[in-house]
């Protein structure tokens, strides 16, 4: 089960990253061209947000079936915090990704509370971009490309 969930989590991550980049470019493009925020812009942003949420749920399932979590349970958190690779998988990756997804969700929520297109594009563009940078900062690249 672990290998299947890990594969899904890894491949879904590519879709998340691509969709976030598309949503960010769309937002900054709309902001710079001063165009109206359309249902298409809303859809692009919403799909990117939904994919990030699905990725997080897959990640939660993964962390609980992971051999790393079994090590953490048996050895304790002191051991996890001393081992940089375990700390990345058990603590840093999930926590930073939760913060990133929270920022993306805030960007989505803020856009709904304003009527001005420029503010909609700005909240989505900035908060999605910060979220993307955080996601990229905690990807376990050593595992991802193996």
Residue 132 located in a structural domain: yes
Average pLDDT, the chain: 93
Residue 67 located in a structural domain: yes
Residue 31 located in a structural domain: yes
Q: Are 121 and 24 in contact (CB under 8 A)?
A: no
Query: How far is the C-alpha of 16 from the C-alpha of 4, rounded, in Å?
Result: 18
Specify the pTM.
0.91
pLDDT in tens, 49-80: 999 999 999 999 999 898 888 888 898 889 88
Residue 145 located in a structural domain: no
Residue 20 located in a structural domain: yes
The domain of 74 spans 2-140
Residue 146 located in a structural domain: no
pLDDT in tens, 111-135: 999 999 999 999 999 999 999 999 9
Per the structure, how many domains does the chain have?
Answer: 1
Residue 74 located in a structural domain: yes
Residue 77 located in a structural domain: yes
Query: How far is the C-alpha of 70 from the C-alpha of 24, rounded, in Å?
Result: 37
Instruction: Compute CA 86 distance to the chain's CA centroid, rounded to the nearest angstrom.
Output: 20
């Amino acid at each position: 089960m672990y290998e299947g969930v890990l594969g899904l989590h890894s491949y879904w991550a590519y879709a998340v990253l691509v969709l976030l980049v598309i949503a960010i470019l769309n937002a900054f493009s709309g902001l710079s061209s001063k165009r109206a925020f359309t249902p298409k812009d809303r859809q692009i942003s919403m799909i990117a947000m939904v994919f990030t949420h699905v990725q997080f749920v897959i990640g939660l399932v993964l962390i609980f079936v992971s051999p790393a979590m079994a090590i953490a349970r048996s050895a304790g958190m002191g051991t996890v915090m001393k081992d940089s690779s375990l700390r990345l998988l058990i603590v840093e990756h999930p926590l930073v990704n939760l913060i990133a997804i929270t920022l993306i969700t805030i960007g989505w929520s803020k856009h709904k509370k304003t009527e001005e297109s420029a503010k909609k594009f700005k909240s989505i563009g900035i908060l999605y971009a910060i979220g993307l940078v955080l996601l990229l900062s905690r990807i376990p690249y050593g595992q991802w490309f193996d």
